[in-house]
Amino acid sequence: MAKRSSVLAALAAAEVAAPGDGALDRELAELPRNDIGNAKRFLARHSGRVLFVRNMGWLVWDARRWRREGGDEAARTLAQNTTEMIRAEARAVADEAEGYDGKAKKEIMAKAEALMRFASSSGKSSNITGMMREAAPHFGGAVWGADGAFTSAGPGDLDADPLTLNCLNGTLTVRVVERVAEVVLKDHDPADRITKLCEAAYKPDAEAPQFLAFLERIVPDKDVREFLKLFCGYCLTGLTREQIVVFLHGAGANGKSTFVDLVASIMGDYSVTLQFASLTAEGSQRRGGEATPDLARLPGARFVRASEPEMGVKFSEALVKSLTGGETVTVRHLNQGFFDFDPEYKIVLSGNHKPIIRGQDEGIWRRVRLIPFEVSIPKEERDRELAEKLWEERDGVLAWMVEGLCAYLEGGLSEPAAILTATAQYREESDAVGQFITQCITVVKGAQPVQSSEIYANYEKYARINGTPNYSATGFGKAFRERIRAMHGIERIDGMVRVYPNIVVAMVDARDDVQARAEAHARD
């Protein structure tokens, strides 16, 4: 009787709260008293509250979405609770002893006492870590693969439905039935494995009169406004079928930053801000094994805005093609392993300066859309509280975006003449070598062949005078060869010296070159 009393006293001293399910406590008491048994206890008590994802870690459910922030701490707290609840298992076993006498009762109480001791040892930090390690794959909804391997959830299992959008008041799903888009709003559900949340509620009847007036003021062209509506609706999805980069271009005080900031803020977790350096030729140069923490933030993002480019920066055309091509991207967080994900994001740039795009192939230019913002708001019209006023209409703006989404799904992304013209002009301006050929090269059949080095030397002077991008000798040689072939069908002759036949080069005036050098020196 003394041993029985000590066990019951220990249980009482532990002040274990009455379990919500005594049958569960009794069932869990039969599990092995080791890390694997505790992992099963953890899963039984807290499934649906935390989620483990490979190469990410633990996520916690906050009643609207799964959050990475605080996930590790929440999972460990619940694991600690699991060890404490082993005492509830001991209580359930001890209560069962009341119906027995003699040897049977003694054996039951011995089991309860063993569970009490195990509860104490399970509370050690190393044992809690062991429990979490064994439990992790099961909290990811692990499955048996076709090859017999046991696999936990990966980043690709999160936010998997491209036509689902998580809003403050529920999860919105759009489906196209007989070419008509239908919108359904349902309650938040952890089974959806959504990690993102918009910062607005979906209310289809919500209005945004100030926003619409603002948009009409900064974008007078109705067709361009319609494009923006369709594109913003497209950005609500995880679709990447358009494979484009949108660049809002114009001088200051034209509202483009206010517009982009508003859309990004409404999209909340679905929006990521990327440093423009990540998209430049210099910033994208990494060794094969290096981490890519900037790009590792992109899984699940749908609206990626890049900070304003500085004058003279060059796009990494290969990276832009990769990021917009819809193909799987491989990235790595710091101190973690590589993982693959399928892009869902649309890249949006805004600024006063156009990034340099040297390539003239369709592979890059079919992806670029330049949207001109040509209205400059006079100082007397500027409203310092405009951003706050527009934010008050965020539910109405989201409803406007969802209208754009439905229209996009039903009819696609129309491209007005103003955008096509502005993009074509951007392409022409970017073709520095093409402009050099137009202005300085004349096709003359039978003309004395001109050495490549002579052409390059003349281009260097031309670039200084006209402020166009300079090239290395190798880069210029490749670009000139491609452009002279495309523009005039002239091929380079390779021999001891590389030359081009049938052309005459108009030499740049040395005096202009000297003046250009002096002006550049003065600016420095």
Question: For the ranges 125-129, 196-200, 325-329, 408-412, which has the lowest average pLDDT?
Answer: 325-329
Q: Which of 189, 188, 182 is nearest to 167 (CA)?
A: 188
Across the range 380-401, mean pLDDT stands at 97
Query: Based on the domain organization, do 423 and 468 belong to the same domain?
Result: no
The answer to whether 164 and 202 are in contact (CB under 8 A) is no
Length of the chain: 524
Q: Is the pLDDT of residue 61 over 50?
A: yes
pLDDT in tens, 228-285: 999 999 999 999 999 999 999 998 789 999 999 999 999 999 999 988 777 775 545 5
Query: Does any domain span residue 161?
Result: no
Q: Which residues 6+ apart lie within 8 Å of 223 measured at CB?
A: 414, 416, 417, 418
Query: Based on the domain organization, do 74 and 19 belong to the same domain?
Result: yes
The Cα–Cα gap between 500 and 364 comes to: 27
Query: Based on the domain organization, do 116 and 192 belong to the same domain?
Result: no
Amino acid letter, residue 20: G
Kindly list the distances between the CA atom of residue 320 and the CA atoms of 262, 311, 366, 471, 483, in Å, as whole numbers in the listed order.
24, 19, 12, 20, 22
Higher pLDDT, 226 or 190: 226
- Give me the numbers of helices (H) and strands (E) for the chain, helices first please: 18, 19
Question: For the ranges 177-186, 287-296, 436-445, which has the lowest average pLDDT?
Answer: 287-296
- The band of 145, judged by pLDDT with boundaries at 50, 70 and 90, is very low
Q: Which residues 6+ apart lie within 8 Å of 371 measured at CB?
A: 224, 227, 228, 246, 247, 248, 249, 419, 422
Query: Does any domain span residue 204?
Result: yes
Which residue range is the domain that position 111 belongs to? 2-153
Across the range 7-22, mean pLDDT stands at 44
Q: Provide the percentage of residues in the chain whose pLDDT is more than 90.
A: 55
pLDDT of residue 466: 82
Higher pLDDT, 345 or 359: 345
Query: Does any domain span residue 377?
Result: yes
Query: Based on the domain organization, do 438 and 316 belong to the same domain?
Result: no
Query: Based on the domain organization, do 199 and 334 belong to the same domain?
Result: yes
3-state DSSP assignment of residue 25: helix
Q: Is the pLDDT of residue 311 over 70?
A: no
The Cα–Cα gap between 277 and 286 comes to: 12
Query: Based on the domain organization, do 112 and 243 belong to the same domain?
Result: no
- The band of 485, judged by pLDDT with boundaries at 50, 70 and 90, is very high
Query: Based on the domain organization, do 279 and 361 belong to the same domain?
Result: yes
Query: Based on the domain organization, do 17 and 68 belong to the same domain?
Result: yes
The Cα–Cα gap between 192 and 194 comes to: 6
Amino acid letter, residue 146: A
pLDDT of residue 509: 66
Query: Based on the domain organization, do 59 and 188 belong to the same domain?
Result: no
Query: Based on the domain organization, do 114 and 182 belong to the same domain?
Result: no
Q: Which of 136-140, 282-286, 379-383 has the highest mean pLDDT?
A: 379-383
pTM of structure: 0.78
pLDDT of residue 459: 92
pLDDT of residue 21: 66
CATH number at residue 519: 1.10.10.10
- The band of 124, judged by pLDDT with boundaries at 50, 70 and 90, is very high
3-state DSSP assignment of residue 274: strand
Query: Does any domain span residue 158?
Result: no
CATH number at residue 391: 3.40.50.300
Q: Which of 238, 239, 243, 219 is nearest to 229 (CA)?
A: 219
Cβ burial of 24 (10 Å; 0-12, 13-18, 19+) is middle
**H-type helices in 205-357, by residue range?**
209-218, 222-235, 256-267, 317-324
Q: Is the pLDDT of residue 482 over 70?
A: yes
Residue 280: DSSP 8-state: B
Across the range 87-105, mean pLDDT stands at 87
| Location of structure tokens 């005036």 | 509
Domain boundary among 428, 450, 476: 428
Domain boundary among 428, 460, 494: 428
The Cα–Cα gap between 480 and 99 comes to: 95
Query: Does any domain span residue 73?
Result: yes
- Own/partner contacts of 143-148, CB < 8 Å, gap of 24 or more, are none
Q: Which residues 6+ apart lie within 8 Å of 104 measured at CB?
A: none
Q: Is the pLDDT of residue 7 over 50?
A: no
pLDDT of residue 390: 98
- The band of 323, judged by pLDDT with boundaries at 50, 70 and 90, is confident
Query: Based on the domain organization, do 235 and 379 belong to the same domain?
Result: yes
Query: Does any domain span residue 162?
Result: no
- The band of 13, judged by pLDDT with boundaries at 50, 70 and 90, is very low
Beta strands per DSSP E along 324-481: 329-332, 338-341, 346-351, 368-372, 441-443, 450-451
The Cα–Cα gap between 345 and 342 comes to: 9
- The band of 503, judged by pLDDT with boundaries at 50, 70 and 90, is very high
Q: Is the pLDDT of residue 99 over 50?
A: yes
pLDDT in tens, 196-224: 999 999 999 999 999 999 999 999 999 99
Query: Does any domain span residue 209?
Result: yes
pLDDT of residue 141: 57
Question: For the ranges 65-69, 168-172, 399-403, which has the lowest average pLDDT?
Answer: 65-69
- The band of 4, judged by pLDDT with boundaries at 50, 70 and 90, is very low
Query: Based on the domain organization, do 476 and 418 belong to the same domain?
Result: no
Q: Is the pLDDT of residue 334 over 70?
A: no
User: Sign of the CA dihedral 433, 437, 441, 444?
Assistant: positive
Q: Which residues 6+ apart lie within 8 Å of 478 measured at CB?
A: none
Query: Does any domain span residue 141?
Result: yes
Angle at 400 between CA 398 and CA 403, to 5 degrees: 110
Question: For the ranges 76-80, 162-166, 340-344, 404-408, which has the lowest average pLDDT?
Answer: 340-344
Beta strands per DSSP E along 405-498: 441-443, 450-451
Q: Is the pLDDT of residue 18 over 50?
A: no
The Cα–Cα gap between 518 and 465 comes to: 10
Across the range 474-489, mean pLDDT stands at 91
Mean residue pLDDT of the chain comes to: 85
Domain boundary among 410, 428, 446: 428
Q: Is the pLDDT of residue 406 over 90?
A: yes
- The band of 418, judged by pLDDT with boundaries at 50, 70 and 90, is very high
Structural domains counted in the chain: 3
The Cα–Cα gap between 55 and 400 comes to: 37
